[in-house]
Amino acid sequence: MVVVNYHDDLNEVQGDATLAALLSAPHAVAPFDRIEWWRNLAETCAMQPLVAVARAGEHRAVLPLMRSGGTITGFCNWYCFRLAALATPGADQAGLFTALARDLAAQAQRMMLDKLSEDDADLLSAAFRASGWLVWKAPCDTNHILALNGRSFAEYMASRPGPLRTTLKRKGGKVDVMLYRKFDRQAYANYEEVYAESWKPQEGSPAFLRRFAEEEGAAGRLRMAVARVDDQPVAAQFWTVEHGIAFIHKLAHRDDARALSPGTTLSAALFEEVIDRDKVALVDFGTGDDGYKRDWMEQQRTRYRLDLLRPGAPGNWPAIVRNGLRRLVRRG
């Protein structure tokens, strides 16, 4: 028998030992799957979770959700690389997520889930269709990644585009680079200073990001780098490493230092750190199809959005018609 529960209090989630283990660092393969990430969202971004859990014996299936008006969406923000359908090893994922989708019909008439991997999008599409929902799946973003396949940093760099290697050769010695494997207040202040003077938009949630950096530093997963000229910071980057994956979270350089290419030098230093010292198998550059990512990454993965609607809800009928017309146009 499958039992479905919803939790808006993350302390309740930690009260279930099996669930707490699933959402803890030894098991979660990415920061976005951990309860610490969700607690940070709730406490620094004022986001209210609705953690949907299907239980069958010792197995669990989890969707991190939240309410947004009359719609249920994924519990994530702009810092999240992807939303995942989580389950304990060996669980009947199809059965558990189908039971979860069936029960969610009593919670909302429409759901919108984005930043899903292709596998999770297909799994959830099948589960919601089997439970009477109408499902529209569409690409929503691009995730750039690098699979090392056992290469050293030198071997990896030898395959980079010629202009990138030339830039590093000409300008790599023009900035001083410091690497940090734990949280350093001065280095983080340098990052914030550089970001404020960069081309980047205003930081969405500085408190969230700093707390994440502090927690990752305490856990030994933080990798930061700062480039300085005459002791003045001109570029900074913020990565994390776990389960053989390096995640590139933030990078910025001062506009007035662009001629020195400090960001390129910092990226090379951090790639060398995570490849040769941490021995990662994969580097994940997050979402966004920025052109500069192609110089460093070699593969792309599509992220998907699911628009999930109950057909009997009159408020959904205009969206059903629009989605149906779009599908016809694509097929035509």
Q: Say which CATH number the domain at 25 has.
A: 3.40.630
Of 48, 36, 13, 14, the residue nearest 208 (C-alpha): 36
**For residue 51, what is the enclosing H or E element?**
strand 50-56
Based on the fold, state whether residues 131 and 7 are members of the same structural domain.
yes
Q: For each of the chain's 332 residues, which pLDDT tens digit applies?
A: 999 999 999 999 989 999 999 999 888 999 999 999 999 999 999 999 999 999 999 999 999 999 998 899 999 999 999 999 999 999 999 999 999 999 999 999 999 999 999 999 999 999 999 999 999 999 999 999 999 999 999 999 999 999 999 999 999 899 999 999 999 999 999 999 999 999 888 888 999 999 999 999 999 999 999 999 999 999 999 999 999 999 999 999 999 999 999 999 999 999 999 999 999 999 999 999 888 899 999 999 999 999 999 998 878 778 888 888 777 777 76
* DSSP-based three-state secondary structure for 251: strand
**Residue 287 located in a structural domain:** no
**pLDDT score at 72:** 98
- Quick one: CA dihedral 85, 86, 89, 92, positive or negative? negative
Burial 159-175 (b: 16+ CB within 10 A, else e): ebeeebeebbeeebeeb
**Residue 296 located in a structural domain:** no
Q: What is the total count of domains within the chain? A: 2
Based on the fold, state whether residues 138 and 154 are members of the same structural domain.
no
Based on the fold, state whether residues 223 and 324 are members of the same structural domain.
no
pTM: 0.94
**pLDDT score at 329:** 73
**Residue 276 located in a structural domain:** yes
**For residue 266, what is the enclosing H or E element?**
helix 262-272
Based on the fold, state whether residues 69 and 161 are members of the same structural domain.
no
**Residue 290 located in a structural domain:** no
- Quick one: CA dihedral 221, 83, 100, 14, positive or negative? positive
Tell me how far the alpha carbon of residue 218 is from its chain's centroid: 20
**pLDDT score at 318:** 82
CATH number, domain of 256, equals 3.40.630.30
Give the residue numbers spanning the domain of 234.
150-280
**Residue 170 located in a structural domain:** yes
**pLDDT score at 201:** 84
**pLDDT score at 317:** 78
Phi-psi region of 233 (alpha: psi -120 to 50; beta: other; left: phi over 0): beta
Based on the fold, state whether residues 120 and 157 are members of the same structural domain.
no
Based on the fold, state whether residues 225 and 259 are members of the same structural domain.
yes
